[in-house]
Amino acid sequence: MLQRLTIAERQLALAISIAVILAGLLMAAAGSGDPMGPHGAIVMFAGAIVFLAVLRVIQDPEPLEDRAENYYDDPTRVGLLISLGWAVIGMGMGVWVAAQLAWPDLRFDAAWSSFGRIRPVHTSGVIFGFGGNALIATSFHVMQRTSRARLAGHVAPWFVLLGFNLFCVIAASGYLMGVTQSKEYAEPEWYADLWLVVVWVIYFVLYIRTLARRNEPHIYVANWYYLAFILVVAVLHIVNNLAVPASFAGAKSYSAFAGVQDAMTQWWYGHNAVAFFLTAGFLGMLYYFLPKRAERPIYSYRLSILSFWGITFFYIWAGSHHLHYTALPQWVQTLGMTFSVMLLVPSWASAGNALMTLNGAWHKVRDDATLRFMMVAAVFYGLSTFEGSFMAVRAVNSLSHYTDWTVGHVHAGAMGWVALITFGSIYAVVPTLWQRETMYSWKLVEWHFWLALAGTVIYVFAMWNSGITQGLMWRTYTESGTLTYSFTDTLVAMHPYYVARAAGGALFLAGAILAAINVYLTIRNVPQKRTEGDYPTPSEATEPAVPVAE
Amino acid sequence: MFRKILSPFARMFEFQARTHYRAERHSMALTVGIILAAGVGGFVEIAPLFTIDETVEAAPDMRLYTPLEQAGRDIYIREGCYACHSQMIRTLQDEVDRYGPYSLAVESQYDHPMLWGSKRTGPDLARVGEKFSDEWQVQHLINPRAVVPESVMPQYAFLLENELDVESLPARLHALRRVGVPYTEDQIDNAAIDARGQARPETEAADGVFQRFGDDTNVRFFDGRRDRVTEMDALVAYLQILGGLTDLPSQTRSLEGD
């Protein structure tokens, strides 16, 4: 695989890996006695693996391939496999944390295994590990196909992919050691945050340079979304993580903002991590893989424009709906609520655009579980954005906030929308990437589909029930005007739903494991066959990059 | 008539589609457009919070966390307590009845970062300070189900065995001062001594705590152990000050009652 790099590129990779090893050494030396020390060791180890891998091929001859003839898919393949690995880890952690809430002693009595420490391993594992790797990998795939051009650079994509995973590993291992900033979905400490900025800048440059090579006059809509994902996540990440380290030889830092300003910044980040990480990037996936798989053009170009700019503009305002009835000034709460409700328009425009695209291809949805994954993802996207706008209304929020309803809402989006569109895209792209005829087993895909759907529905219904029950119990008064239920009363009422939730999560996890097995068997056992037209062509070529309107 | 009403919108969409058709040929046009479109909302909602004075109430009696309490706060963050406990009582009657006066912005003025939380798997802790004895808090942290049989909280018995790291406290307080917490030079320099002193009543070090942080400071054997200062001391000291940094919230409620 690395033989495909030129000797100059291999030398560059070697130099970068040496720099990483030195940085790790510095961290390990400075941070001995602090969690930063083990993190330095992890960085050194990661650098050493790359160093050895490149060193093995450094003497090999220059590659003979004509780079203009092919797309560069090696990083995409590795990225998808890593993503599936994180899916199993992250969802496995999810089932474990869910089980801890039903059976709290399920943790071997160790400090690292408490709910508070492993819950971020679950959230970061699925959001960044599974989702992030899938986004990076598919973005490499999509930007090349829709631009009809090979990636601009061969070291940069590896740097982005492996660098991002180093961030994920530092994040996850840090949580187990108690390293956290406590900002939800932005828990990693200052050195991990700085590293991610470097990785992200390279990612943006790679994307723009590849677009600059394109043989298509227009930039396809999937790329707008990937671009918005890269750009806005960078802004959010930098501002929300502004902090002053207590010492450059330790992990601990203190956020630059405090109290109400910090809360607003955090939820401006938190909600837009949902918008630009978990929505924009995955809409990019949807806009490419769904029309490709259905072999139908996107229903409406104008709806794409409307929904893209609507999402980009409206979403940013919505964060303050996480802070209804708090010490945040009311004018900000009201702005957040208003924009959250308006957000329904571009969100449903996207979901509708996706579903209308399937007109004329519904028989394929019936027969092809891969396309059905994408269709159901679009439906869940529509449902959870509706639910989100609803829950952002102040009166509804007074009931739903702080309860499991929020957790259910997030998982309707994360499982029903993000994970399903990702699995659909993975099943669609794996045969193309490895040049196979088809997936190893369509029956396994079918099984996965129904396990995932059943798991999601059980999960969401359990959380609706527990959330609304708890919210109502908290506000129930006796006739004499005192609160009817103590907090522990509500906790007892939650127990059956927590068991059901863990069961739903386990079904979903089982589906993800089937996906990993199916992909593995596809690569090992399915005969080779190159997908037609899957190579860079000039824009005058007869085969369009994406299906065009009739 | 319907068509007539919609025609300006149709013209606008027509114009938008045509402009976009040209603009989407340029990656930098998209880049700038995305940054501008996504920049407005955050700027309008966040920037004024720093400039409008009414955002945070004035509370002249607002006190700072002592080094021991700050160390406890850091442990609270390390263990991820914020994932299940909020520290934000909303302006709703049932919450005020259950937890006490609703939270004010000034109460988390020096909280870097804030710990308002997003989920109540356990109850809100904004005013938990002094609601339970130190003894109860320690027993509950060692084994929650020994005190509250229905609880699903993890055990934190190991906190009682871990000696508190006080040596890094001056650097931590210094970092906090750099982000805006008004610790004095004296408080920062003596942070390690004061952290120990607060958990060792009737000693010279304890007198230093009163001198630097006021006579109302809680100085106690928080974890009941007299031989050493543990992480349990710090965490309980922090829990016992929650809601006790200023008296303003209770005054607000009585004023509204009049």
pLDDT > 70 in chain A, percent: 98
CB contact under 8 A, A104 and B25: no
For A104-113, A325-334, B172-181, B210-219, which range has the lowest pLDDT when averaged over its residues? Answer: A104-113
Among the partner residues A104, A219, A272, nearest to B24 by beta-carbon distance = A219
Mean predicted confidence (pLDDT) in A357-386: 97
CA-angle at B208, arms to B203 and B211, nearest 5°: 130
Q: Please, which pLDDT band fits residue A139 given cuts at 50, 70 and 90?
A: very high
Q: Is A32 near chain B, with CB under 8 Å?
A: no
Mutate to test the interface with A, among B18, B85, B102, B116 (most CBs of A within 10 A): B116
Chain B positions in Cβ-Cβ contact with residue A406 (cut-off 8 Å): 118-119
Q: Give mean pLDDT, residues A331-360.
A: 96
pLDDT in tens, A464-522: 999 999 999 999 999 999 999 999 999 999 999 999 999 999 999 999 999 999 999 99
The arithmetic mean of pLDDT across residues A276-298, rounded, is 96
Q: What pLDDT, on a 0 to 100 scale, did the predictor assign at position A360? A: 92
Residues in chain A closer than 8 A to B116 (CB atoms)? 263, 323, 326
| CA B32/CA A218 separation, integer angstroms | 17
ipTM score assigned to the predicted complex: 0.95
Which positions 210-249 of A are in contact with B (Cβ < 8 Å)? 211-212, 217-219, 224, 227-228, 231-232, 235, 239, 243-247
Scan residues 108-147 of B and list those with Cβ closer than 8 Å to A: 108-123, 144-145
Is A448 annotated in a binding site? The answer is no
pLDDT of the residue at B258? 40
Q: What is the pLDDT of residue B53?
A: 86
3-state secondary structure (DSSP) of residue A471: helix
What is the predicted pLDDT for the residue at A41?
97
Residue A489 burial by Cβ neighbours in a 10 Å radius (0-12, 13-18, 19+): middle
Count CB-CB contacts under 10 A for residue A524. Answer: 9
pLDDT, residue B253, reads: 56
3-state SS string over B9-49? HHHHHHHHHHHHHHHCCCHHHHHHHHHHHHHHHHHHHHHHH
Average pLDDT over residues B102-107: 96
Top pLDDT among B53 and A205 is at: A205
Residue type, A488: T
The per-residue DSSP string of A197-222 comes to HHHHHHHHHHHHHHHHT-SSSSPPHH
The pLDDT tens digits for B238-253 are 999 999 999 998 886 5
pLDDT tens digits, A29-60 = 999 889 999 999 999 999 999 999 999 999 99
pTM: 0.95
B115, A182: Cβ pair inside 8 Å? Answer: yes
Residue A541 is predicted with a pLDDT of 62
pLDDT of A156 higher than 90:
yes
Instruction: Copy the structure tokens of residue B31.
Output: 């880049």
The rounded percent of chain A whose pLDDT value lies above 90 is 92
Confirm or reject contact between B165 and chain A (CB < 8 A).
Answer: no
The mean pLDDT of B173-190, rounded to a whole number, is: 97
CB contact under 8 A, B31 and A245: no
Q: Tokens 């006579």 appear where?
A: B215
Alpha carbon distance B174, A527 (integer Å): 64
pLDDT band with cut points at 50, 70 and 90 for residue A295: very high
Q: Out of B116, B148, B150, name the one closest to residue A263 (CB).
A: B116
B150 at interface of A, judged by CB pairs closer than 8 A: yes
- Band of residue B18 on the pLDDT scale cut at 50, 70, 90: confident
Burial A256-270 (b: 16+ CB within 10 A, else e): bbbbbbbbbbbbbbb
A144 and A537 Cβ atoms separated by less than 8 Å = no
B97 in contact with chain A, both atoms CB, cutoff 8 A: yes
Q: Is B156 on the interface with A (CB under 8 A)?
A: yes
- Mean pLDDT score, A131-144: 97
Q: Does B80 touch chain A (CB under 8 A)?
A: yes
Please list the alpha-helical segments (H only) found in A273-319.
Answer: 281-294, 301-315
* CB spacing of B46 vs A100 below 8 angstroms: no
Predicted confidence band of residue A251 (pLDDT cuts 50, 70, 90): very high
Q: What is the mean pLDDT of residues B98-103?
A: 96
- Domain borders along chain B are 1-55, 67-256
| A322 marked ligand binding residue | yes
CB pair distance less than 8 Å for A316 and B41: yes
Average pLDDT of chain A is 95
Distance from CA of A59 to the nearest CA of B (A): 39
- Chain A residues in contact with B16 (beta carbon < 8 A): 302, 305-306
What residues of A are in contact with residue B44 (Cβ under 8 Å)? 317, 335
Contact A180 B49 (CB under 8 A): no
pLDDT given at position A410 = 96
Share of chain B above pLDDT 90, in %: 83
Q: Is A409 annotated as a binding residue?
A: yes
The CATH code belonging to domain B67-256 is 1.10.760.10
The one-letter code for the residue type at B245 is L
Rounded mean pLDDT of A84-95? Answer: 98
Strand A253-255 and strand A243-245: the pairing is antiparallel
Q: Is A326 on the interface with B (CB under 8 A)?
A: yes
Q: Please give the Cα distance from B41 to A314 (Å, whole number).
A: 8
The pLDDT value given to residue A131: 97
Among the partner-chain residues A102, A247, A260, the one whose CB lies closest to the CB of B56 is A260
Q: Which residues contact A202 (CB under 8 A, 6 or more apart)?
A: A156, A159, A160, A163
Give the list of residues 6+ apart from residue B42 with CB closer than 8 angstroms, or none. Answer: A235, A239, A268, A316
Do the Cβ atoms of B103 and A327 come within 8 Å?
yes
CA angle B131/B133/B135 to nearest 5° reads 150
Contact A120 B119 (CB under 8 A): no
Query: Which pLDDT belongs to residue B257?
Result: 43
Q: Measured between CB atoms, which of A313, A326, A329 is closest to B116?
A: A326
> Got the DSSP string for A99-123?
HHHHSTTTTTT-GGGSHHHHHHHHH
Checking if the pLDDT of B2 tops 90, the result is: no
Average pLDDT of chain B to the nearest whole number: 93
Beta carbons of B83 and A302 less than 8 Å apart: no
Handedness of CA A289, A290, A292, A293 (dihedral sign): positive
Q: Which residues of A touch B107 (CB under 8 A)?
A: 259, 327
B171's enclosing H/E stretch is: helix B169-178
Residue B186: CB partners within 8 Å, gap ≥ 6? B212
| A497, two tokens | 């739903």
Mean pLDDT score, A276-288: 96
Q: How close A350 gets to chain B, by Cα (Å)?
A: 16
Q: Which two tokens stand for residue B62?
A: 């607002």
Beta-carbon contacts of A340 under 8 Å, excluding residues fewer than 6 positions away, are A317, A318, A321, A388, A389, A392, A393
Bridge partners, B104 (sequence order): none
The mean pLDDT of B171-188, rounded to a whole number, is 97
pLDDT tens digits, one per residue of B46-82: 999 999 888 999 998 999 999 999 999 999 999 999 9
